[in-house]
Amino acid sequence: MEKAPFFQRNEEQEQSSSQSRKLFVLSANDKDALQALMGKIGIYLEQRPEIFQNDLMSNLAYTLARRSRLQWRVAIPTTSSFDLIQALNSGKVMPVRGEPEGLRIGFIFTGQGAQYYNMGRELYEQYPVYASTIDACDAYLSSLGAPFSLLGTYDSL
């Protein structure tokens, strides 16, 4: 892999890069909450003249992008804080509903006393999702030629 050429920036390049497009991503659990959030951020930005400094806009874009991605989302690409405030307050930016991400549940047996005797057995008997997952894991291990069975271990408890 080649290294990128090294060059020093001059003031003209600094100004053009400070005007680069940034992406502001907002999300919420429902459409009304997202629209309320957009309004609140618009008001917040209008009331703070320091936000018009480029470093603060970059920090805001970074912070918003790091937040959880909830079901309703909006992304606003802009080069200036004025454009961002206008987009947030205009009502022209429409939230969209993203694909819901599947729930992920995990069970961890730490071996440090947090579990109790027969905990796995009780989970297997009381929760069909847990039982079907253990069954599927057992079948997969068997197809790989494992000399043991997860259910055999379960039966011996």
User: In the structure, what pLDDT confidence band is assigned to residue 33 with cuts at 50, 70 and 90?
Assistant: very high
Q: What is the pTM of this model?
A: 0.50
Whether residue 3 is predicted with pLDDT greater than 80 in this model: the reply is no
pLDDT value of residue 132: 94
Q: Which residue has the higher pLDDT, 14 or 69?
A: 69
Cα–Cα dist 62/4, whole Å: 25
Whether residue 9 is predicted with pLDDT greater than 50 in this model: the reply is no
Helix and strand element counts for the chain (H, E): 7, 3
pLDDT value of residue 151: 82
Cα–Cα dist 34/27, whole Å: 6
Percent of the chain residues past pLDDT 70, beyond the cut: 71
pLDDT value of residue 100: 61
User: In the structure, what pLDDT confidence band is assigned to residue 12 with cuts at 50, 70 and 90?
Assistant: very low
Domains and CATH numbers, the chain: 18-97 (3.30.70.3290), 119-156 (no CATH)
Question: Is 98 in contact with 72 (CB distance < 8 Å)?
Answer: yes
Could you read off the pLDDT of 59-117 as tens digits, one per residue? 888 888 888 888 899 999 988 888 888 888 887 888 888 766 666 666 666 666 666 77
Token pair recorded at residue 8: 């020093």
